[in-house]
Amino acid sequence: MTNLEDPAAIDRTDPESYIAAATDVYRNWGRWGDDDRIGTLNFIDDAARARAAALVETGRTVSLSQPFDMDGPQKGWRRRTNPVHTMLDTGIDAEFGDQGFPHGIGGADDVIAMPLQCSTQWDGLGHIFDRGYAWNGRRAGSVVTSEGDQVTGIEHTAAKVTGRGVLLDMGAHLRPETGELEDGYAITVADIESCIAAQGASSAVGTGDILLVRTGRYARARREGWGEYAGGPAPGLSVTTAGWLHRTEVAAVATDTWGFEVRPNEFDVAFQPLHQIAIPNMGLTIGEMWDLDELADACREAGRWEFLLVAPPLPITGAVGSPVNPIAIF
Amino acid sequence: MTNLEDPAAIDRTDPESYIAAATDVYRNWGRWGDDDRIGTLNFIDDAARARAAALVETGRTVSLSQPFDMDGPQKGWRRRTNPVHTMLDTGIDAEFGDQGFPHGIGGADDVIAMPLQCSTQWDGLGHIFDRGYAWNGRRAGSVVTSEGDQVTGIEHTAAKVTGRGVLLDMGAHLRPETGELEDGYAITVADIESCIAAQGASSAVGTGDILLVRTGRYARARREGWGEYAGGPAPGLSVTTAGWLHRTEVAAVATDTWGFEVRPNEFDVAFQPLHQIAIPNMGLTIGEMWDLDELADACREAGRWEFLLVAPPLPITGAVGSPVNPIAIF
Amino acid sequence: MTNLEDPAAIDRTDPESYIAAATDVYRNWGRWGDDDRIGTLNFIDDAARARAAALVETGRTVSLSQPFDMDGPQKGWRRRTNPVHTMLDTGIDAEFGDQGFPHGIGGADDVIAMPLQCSTQWDGLGHIFDRGYAWNGRRAGSVVTSEGDQVTGIEHTAAKVTGRGVLLDMGAHLRPETGELEDGYAITVADIESCIAAQGASSAVGTGDILLVRTGRYARARREGWGEYAGGPAPGLSVTTAGWLHRTEVAAVATDTWGFEVRPNEFDVAFQPLHQIAIPNMGLTIGEMWDLDELADACREAGRWEFLLVAPPLPITGAVGSPVNPIAIF
Amino acid sequence: MTNLEDPAAIDRTDPESYIAAATDVYRNWGRWGDDDRIGTLNFIDDAARARAAALVETGRTVSLSQPFDMDGPQKGWRRRTNPVHTMLDTGIDAEFGDQGFPHGIGGADDVIAMPLQCSTQWDGLGHIFDRGYAWNGRRAGSVVTSEGDQVTGIEHTAAKVTGRGVLLDMGAHLRPETGELEDGYAITVADIESCIAAQGASSAVGTGDILLVRTGRYARARREGWGEYAGGPAPGLSVTTAGWLHRTEVAAVATDTWGFEVRPNEFDVAFQPLHQIAIPNMGLTIGEMWDLDELADACREAGRWEFLLVAPPLPITGAVGSPVNPIAIF
């Protein structure tokens, strides 16, 4: 286990062996029964939600969602486009008097088309597979078909993603002068632990917590433009944090980056190895492209890094992910 | 004012006069300044949110969202379709080994196309106009153009829709044997007040509360099929409740029906007159097609009708509405 | 072969044996080389197109397309919806003066979302598979992936679907009083041959022709409403016509029905067996939901059943089908 | 009139006066009756179609469509995206054995979402307005509403766009060394007449012809990448060609550029003035983003510049444009 958590011990030429070893020890298959559909979200129980709600003091509320519109970061990779929002009718139609409604009522309707992975989102458990297997040891092809996720669809988490949120502002902790980690920076267990120590007791992370990791990458995108935000180099969690995530028993983790884990990944030829370990093996729900900037300010102003977090996915039947507007309440 | 709240006094042939009179007395334009974008959501302040969070005891959490899928109620009126969720790639692709990713990782992505008014939703303030005017007295055509809502887009409420929720189970109160009001039943102020009295102090409604009104219509749709759920006859609020909604200073109201207000409406030739009074004049945010059935059970089991309600819209830039998965926490 | 063309010899309990036998004798794999992408469209060469153009006398032109709009027959089977056409901006916007363009120019744009199989269409060769194989003997999974048809995409036929069209008005021939075959009527080789004999020499069918078969089903849908037009009972070609289609060497076949072949199909438990024989094995391009009613009138008025047919698919890269507006010129 | 056709006489500071003068003399309102829906397409009658078909000799057929896929030129201006083509099910699903169909049949379906102006297209008569007016003098707001084009929808041209096509290869004529005009080059009447003279009698243009103008811009885009193909600088027709287009009585005109007319336009502050003159005033159907490169080769090889052109729009009810796969037959 030590080796798996030591970034210096990674053999960059051999992701397969690392992944095989890591999944052997961090796999949670069967932990919540053969029929489980929600993985580590099981770590949050009603008592945990009640404790989280008890954290609320001032009622200050922060939305952690990026805007959903055509000016987003997507460039078409895997046919991920930005959301296309169009109007079916408008106030101009109403004012023009064309709508045919009685007694002066007018209306506007609208429609959206979007990949569920296009902006602030939860990755469902059907989003990633490991060597043909989905969460809890099911064959990938028996879970997610062209009809959608038949087993672990995001709708099963509709009422689950509420609990204690903890923000680790890794950007501010490691780069106090800018608040922003550089692309390619791999956040290690040591980094996490030193951040928790620096931020203090309110940032302790334990069973059932929803961990939010701010890298500062989104702040940079806002300032400088998206550039390669979607899929390009970025700071993020090191693959070596898998063990810490596993034993800490977090319910979910989210970051302000496109891909959650560090990019480029820590092997010469690789694609999102921490996803491969975390989602199908640990059953970990992962959030991406969250806006954690105002939250960081709010934490600093409140003098604490914990809060009630309510981040309900849309219960789209059979979806492998969902857009979300996560709400933090202080 | 008395007349406006008396269902028996409605002149069914003259919606124009009723609406003119009602909007004259219930209009909130300018109440929160000329630049206001969120209307009655201003009634919720941080202190109210903190009080709402203090209601949490057990942590039981209930999702108030209907499923988002093609089996919904929409039949194409105003080009409202049900959500179309399709896969971009699948677990079958991953298991088949076609995806071209390294070290055994596989993935599934998906996409959705949907009218923002198709299922459980918030109507934004740009959704309805009154004689050419939008919320706060702006010209409809200057607010909602083909580019979207330029002023009161739903994104401005992203962090706002959190507060004390109160459920009035009108179905159970008025029809204890079935729990379901019949189509065309117009819920009056007297009905509301008698329900509050019967349910007890925890269902008192006041400034900044988010009021949920269960009619039982959705329970019937689940049992019997959608039928004319979308746009057909339904129980709902009487237009004569506008004054009560206004002086009670609720922040938002939602029902388990397609259209919030009673249908057919209470004039011979009419279309959603309560919307016309409430949205552009009062600035009231309205929720429709919510699932309030499990919530009613939870209230009954908890012995109280109030709870923390977190119902964040997706911040779709310029949208006049949003799908939502509202979360009630006990 | 005789047996395969004898409707009375069909063993309704054993589609597998019939299909196995039919595909053994009608299979065209390799006929146009290992790299072929267009199947029987190879039967049309430039000389055939020139001969077809020489049929033009009066210049009368008939569109064979149904309307593309939300009032179509689809009900959601396999997530096939009707086309959703929406406006991005309108003449009202222009007249209202909101568009921001100089010197008085205004504009309207629009957008469509539609399954490629929703209305008048060509089925591409990647649309149907036989026991895991696609056209020309390729593995289905190596041809049509989640990225689309990598080999036989409809774009390869962009310039191909022009030639001599021949209409067989089976409805008028077999049911002169109504012009409409009843649902479930299976058109046999004998029917086809008697129709050709009755219609006369201009309806002879041979190598490279594009055969259009009018059943009258669409005329009925227009008169009585769609009902179960999409997927329900319908007249259509008997599975026993496969041999005739094969030896006649038609380039393509289209009908005025949803499914081309008779429905219910001619086995107790079956789904579109003639498709299974014709598309992946013969390489036959099939058209469905065409409007052949005005064409029948035009043929009758011209005293001939042949014409120049230009029916170009949209070259959508990797598509397994395409909407089409086929044009017949007399 | 002379002045209107003299590029040197353009007052770049005053597009309004130019447009007012040009529309006064080139306006065709009422020419084909008050109810007309198709404008200059009226110039093509059946006899013209028959003469066009008589041009066919070899049967060589050329598609004039660009590919429809996500790799197109659109960048989101006016929410014009490239087509998004996705699969509903695939050959992998079929081969995997997941589809639940009997006797070994498998299937693939697909869906497209696209602006109707995204690639090779016809602009319908409802696409452009002049000072609040649409084709034939109707108020823009009474023609194209949020429900679509109520009067001149593209469906009315379904059977109309077939006739004699004539290609003018302006790129090759004016820039024989490259075959490509430079961005900003405004093709004048003199250029057109010299090209016709050089190409010879087969390129004479008259009543009812469909004129195709190749600039070479698409050839460059293919070679160098899209760059600013969609909306940026480009060669194209000078606004001063309006009179020639009017008196020549062409039925339709198409080019290989995004915008048909030269860009930047020939006034200091302007947007598509030739569109404004041609579409709502002349009733001219305009084609854009056509692929005329193989066609130019075919003309050169055939030794003639005329051919049968069949370019049927999809009859999308109420559409202001349509994708099209135009077919030229020699």
Q: ipTM value, please give it.
A: 0.97
Name the residue among A64, A52, A30, A57 with its Cα closest to residue A326.
Answer: A64
Name which of B87, B110, B114, B129 to mutate to probe chain D: the one with the most chain D Cβ atoms within 10 A of its Cβ.
Answer: B87
Indicate yes or no: CB of B98 within 8 angstroms of CB of C70: no
Nearest 5 degrees, angle CA D184-CA D186-CA D189?
A: 175
Q: What Å distances lie between residue B300 and A178, B193, B199, B306, CA to CA?
A: 52, 18, 9, 11
Which residues on neighbouring strands pair with residue D162, listed in sequence order?
D310
pLDDT of res. C78? 86
Residues of chain D with pLDDT under 50: 1
Q: For residue range C280-309, list pLDDT tens digits in order.
A: 999 999 999 999 999 999 999 999 999 999
Q: Are A230 and A271 in contact (CB under 8 A)?
A: no
Residue with tokens 């009154």: B130
Indicate yes or no: CB of A95 within 8 angstroms of CB of C96: yes
Burial class (CB in 10 A: 0-12, 13-18, 19+), B269: exposed
Name the residue among D310, D314, D225, D242 with its Cα closest to residue D282.
Answer: D242
Chain A residue with minimum CA distance to C148? A79
Q: What Å distances lie between residue D323 and B186, C111, C200, C231, CA to CA?
A: 49, 11, 38, 28
User: Per the omega criterion (within 30 degrees of 0), is the bond before C264 cis?
Assistant: yes
A325 closest CB neighbour out of B128, B130, B314: B314
* pLDDT surpassing 60 at residue B179: yes
Question: How close B323 gets to chain A, by Cα (Å)?
Answer: 8
pLDDT of res. D2? 59
Question: How close D158 gets to chain C, by Cα (Å)?
Answer: 6
Question: How close C142 gets to chain A, by Cα (Å)?
Answer: 17
* pLDDT surpassing 90 at residue C98: no
Which residues on neighbouring strands pair with residue B328, listed in sequence order?
B62, B309
How many whole angstroms separate alpha carbon A59 and alpha carbon B44? Answer: 10
pLDDT, chain A, mean: 97
3-class DSSP string for chain B: CCHHHCHHHCCCCCHHHHHHHHHHHHCCCCCCCCCCCCHHHHHCCHHHHHHHHCCCCCCCEEECECCECCCCCCCCHHHCCCCEEEEEECHHHHHHCCCCCCCCEEECEEEEEEECCCCCEEECCCCEEECCEEHHHEEHHHHEECCEECCCCHHHHCCCCEEEEEEEEHHHHHCCCCCCCCCCCEECHHHHHHHHHHHCHHHCCCCCCEEEEECCHHHHHHHHCCCCCCCCCECEECHHHHHHHHHHCCCEEEECCCCCECECCCCCCCCCHHHHHHHHHHCCEEEECECCHHHHHHHHHHCCCEEEEECCCCCECCCCEEECCCEEEC
CA quadruple C179, C181, C186, C191: dihedral, nearest 10: -20
Amino acid C52 reads A
Cβ neighbours of B93 in D, within 8 Å: 90, 92
Neighbours of A48 (CB within 10 A): 19
Indicate yes or no: CB of B86 within 8 angstroms of CB of D90: no
Name which of D90, D116, D309 to mutate to probe chain C: the one with the most chain C Cβ atoms within 10 A of its Cβ.
Answer: D90
Amino acid C175 reads R
Cβ neighbours of D76 in A, within 8 Å: 70
Which residues on neighbouring strands pair with residue A111, listed in sequence order?
A86, B115
Chain A residue with minimum CA distance to D88? A146
Q: For residue range B207-220, list pLDDT tens digits in order.
A: 999 999 999 999 99
Cβ neighbours of B109 in A, within 8 Å: 78-80, 115-117, 127, 320-321
The pairing of strands A306-310 and A162-169 is antiparallel
How many whole angstroms separate alpha carbon C235 and alpha carbon D22? Answer: 57
* pLDDT surpassing 50 at residue C1: no
A68 closest CB neighbour out of B88, B90, B315: B315
pLDDT of res. C2? 59
Indicate yes or no: CB of B96 within 8 angstroms of CB of D92: yes
The first and second tokens of residue D319, run together, are 């559409």
Cβ neighbours of C86 in B, within 8 Å: 79
Residue with tokens 């890298």: A215
User: Per the omega criterion (within 30 degrees of 0), is the bond before A280 cis?
Assistant: no
How many whole angstroms separate alpha carbon D153 and alpha carbon D142? Answer: 13
Q: For residue range B105-118, list pLDDT tens digits in order.
A: 999 999 999 999 99
Name which of C81, C96, C114 to mutate to probe chain A: the one with the most chain A Cβ atoms within 10 A of its Cβ.
Answer: C96
A90 closest CB neighbour out of D89, D141, D146: D146
B93 closest CB neighbour out of D86, D92, D113: D92
Q: For residue range A207-250, list pLDDT tens digits in order.
A: 999 999 999 999 999 999 999 999 999 999 999 999 999 999 99
Q: Is D95 helix (H, G, I), strand (E, B) or coil?
A: helix
How many whole angstroms separate alpha carbon D61 and alpha carbon C251? Answer: 16
N-to-C CA span, chain A: 37
Average of per-residue pLDDT across C145-162: 97
Name the residue among A212, A91, A313 with its Cα closest to residue B67.
Answer: A313
Indicate yes or no: CB of D92 within 8 angstroms of CB of C141: yes
* All residues at 6 or more sequence positions from C262 whose CB lies less than 8 Å from its CB, including other chains: C184, C185, C186, C187, C234, C235, C236, C237, C238, C239
Q: For residue range D27-84, list pLDDT tens digits in order.
A: 999 999 999 999 999 999 999 999 999 999 999 999 999 999 999 999 988 889 999 9
Category of D231 on φ-ψ map: left (φ > 0), alpha (ψ -120 to 50) or beta: left
Indicate yes or no: CB of A86 within 8 angstroms of CB of D79: yes
Category of B125 on φ-ψ map: left (φ > 0), alpha (ψ -120 to 50) or beta: alpha
Size of interface B-C (CB pairs under 8 A): 36
Question: How close C100 gets to chain A, by Cα (Å)?
Answer: 14
How many whole angstroms separate alpha carbon B276 and alpha carbon C156? Answer: 54
Neighbours of D58 (CB within 10 A): 15
How many whole angstroms separate alpha carbon D142 and alpha carbon D133? Answer: 9
Question: How close B95 gets to chain C, by Cα (Å)?
Answer: 12
Q: How many CA atoms lie within 13 A of B190 on its CB side?
A: 6
How many whole angstroms separate alpha carbon C91 and alpha carbon C325? Answer: 26
Size of interface A-D (CB pairs under 8 A): 34
Residue with tokens 């390294």: B102
Question: How close B98 gets to chain C, by Cα (Å)?
Answer: 8
* pLDDT surpassing 70 at residue C183: yes
Average of per-residue pLDDT across C161-184: 98
Indicate yes or no: CB of D146 within 8 angstroms of CB of A89: yes
Name the residue among C177, C181, C204 with its Cα closest to residue C192.
Answer: C204
Average of per-residue pLDDT across B157-162: 98
Name the residue among A262, A132, A131 with its Cα closest to residue A184.
Answer: A262
Cβ neighbours of C114 in D, within 8 Å: 111-112
Name the residue among B63, B65, B61, B64 with its Cα closest to residue B330.
Answer: B61
Touching subunits for chain C (3+ Cβ pairs under 8 A): A, B, D
Q: Which residues of C283-301 are buried (b: 16+ CB within 10 A; e: fewer)?
A: bbbbbbbbbbbebbebbee
Indicate yes or no: CB of A158 within 8 angstroms of CB of B65: yes
Question: How close B99 gets to chain D, by Cα (Å)?
Answer: 11
Q: Which residues of C97-106 are buried (b: 16+ CB within 10 A; e: fewer)?
A: ebbebbbbbb
Indicate yes or no: CB of A96 within 8 angstroms of CB of C92: yes
How many whole angstroms separate alpha carbon C179 and alpha carbon C188? Answer: 17
The pairing of strands D121-123 and D321-323 is antiparallel
Question: How close D155 gets to chain A, by Cα (Å)?
Answer: 21
Cβ neighbours of C61 in D, within 8 Å: 46, 49, 159-160, 162
How many whole angstroms separate alpha carbon D85 and alpha carbon C150? Answer: 13
The first and second tokens of residue B213, run together, are 């009104």
Length of chain B in residues, anyone?
A: 330
Chain B residue with minimum CA distance to A81? B111
Chain B residue with minimum CA distance to C72? B76
Category of A176 on φ-ψ map: left (φ > 0), alpha (ψ -120 to 50) or beta: alpha
Cβ neighbours of A68 in B, within 8 Å: 314-317
* pLDDT surpassing 80 at residue C57: yes
Which residues on neighbouring strands pair with residue D254, listed in sequence order?
D212, D287
D86 closest CB neighbour out of B93, B98, B111: B111
* pLDDT surpassing 70 at residue B2: no
Indicate yes or no: CB of B269 within 8 angstroms of CB of A85: no
DSSP letter, residue A23: H
The H-or-E segment that residue D308 falls in is: strand D306-310
Among residues of chain B, what percentage have pLDDT more than 70?
A: 99
Chain C residue with minimum CA distance to B109? C146
User: Per the omega criterion (within 30 degrees of 0), is the bond before B264 cis?
Assistant: yes
How many whole angstroms separate alpha carbon D85 and alpha carbon D201? Answer: 43
Chain B residue with minimum CA distance to A102? B270
The pairing of strands C186-187 and C236-237 is parallel
Average of per-residue pLDDT across B275-298: 98
Indicate yes or no: CB of A70 within 8 angstroms of CB of D79: yes
The H-or-E segment that residue A313 falls in is: none
pLDDT grade for B186, boundaries at 50, 70 and 90: very high
Q: How many CA atoms lie within 13 A of D289 on its CB side?
A: 25
Average of per-residue pLDDT across B39-68: 98
* pLDDT surpassing 60 at residue A292: yes
* pLDDT surpassing 90 at residue B57: yes
Q: For residue range A50-90, list pLDDT tens digits in order.
A: 999 999 999 999 999 999 999 999 998 888 999 999 999 99
Name the residue among D79, C70, A314, D114 with its Cα closest to residue B116.
Answer: A314
* pLDDT surpassing 70 at residue C29: yes
Question: How close D277 gets to chain C, by Cα (Å)?
Answer: 9
What backbone torsions phi and psi does residue A329 show, to the nearest 5 degrees? -125, 125
Nearest 5 degrees, angle CA A288-CA A290-CA A292?
A: 135
How many whole angstroms separate alpha carbon B28 and alpha carbon C124? Answer: 59
Name which of D314, D317, D324, D330 to mutate to probe chain C: the one with the most chain C Cβ atoms within 10 A of its Cβ.
Answer: D314
C81 closest CB neighbour out of B81, B88, B145: B81
Question: How close A150 gets to chain C, by Cα (Å)?
Answer: 15
Cβ neighbours of A113 in D, within 8 Å: 84, 113
